[in-house]
Amino acid sequence: MILVVISLGVTVFAFASNGLTSFGNSFFSLFTNAGNAVQETDVISQVSFTNTGTAGTSGVTIYIGNDGNNPTIIETVYIQSITSSAFVEQFTASPLPLTINAGLTGNVFASGFVPSHGTTYLITIATFLGNTVAYSAKYT
């Protein structure tokens, strides 16, 4: 009977210590990434629309600066028409994901839509750590 109690105690201890270590690592990772996300400072400095008449070659070039202390990874580009209150599309931009080191600038070309004259677009980028930056521009 004593042997059964001891073996169960060892099993419970092994499970608990392993589980707590895993929980501690997840908790540490959560706060480490949150700290890095706070240090991300991305800026959309300019956009340039291209209208060739076809969706395959038309779109928008987005110039993104990293004013933070850490490299940033741009994961996704969203474009919405503010004029018509319509979601245009989540674009497969080139090249994504894009890593921009601290103090540098990169650009992304989001193709697949034909910009419409007089329309104001809301361009939003999302980073790997979950930060978003929005920029509005009117295609004239």
pLDDT in tens, 18-50: 555 554 555 555 455 555 556 678 999 999 999
- Whether residues 45 and 112 share a domain: the answer is yes
pLDDT, one tens digit per residue, over 48-64 is 999 999 988 999 999 99
| CA dihedral for 47, 63, 128, 77, sign (positive or negative) | positive
- Whether residues 23 and 51 share a domain: the answer is no
- Whether residues 86 and 19 share a domain: the answer is no
Is the overall model pTM greater than 0.85, yes or no? no
Number of domains forming the structure of the chain: 2
Per the structure, the complete domain to which residue 31 belongs is given by 1-39
90 pLDDT band (50/70/90 cuts)?
Answer: confident
Q: Does 65 score more than 70 pLDDT? A: yes
User: H-helix or E-strand containing 26?
Assistant: helix 2-39
- Whether residues 64 and 115 share a domain: the answer is yes
Return the closest-CA partner of residue 68 out of 97, 38, 89.
Answer: 38
- Whether residues 22 and 51 share a domain: the answer is no
- Whether residues 51 and 15 share a domain: the answer is no
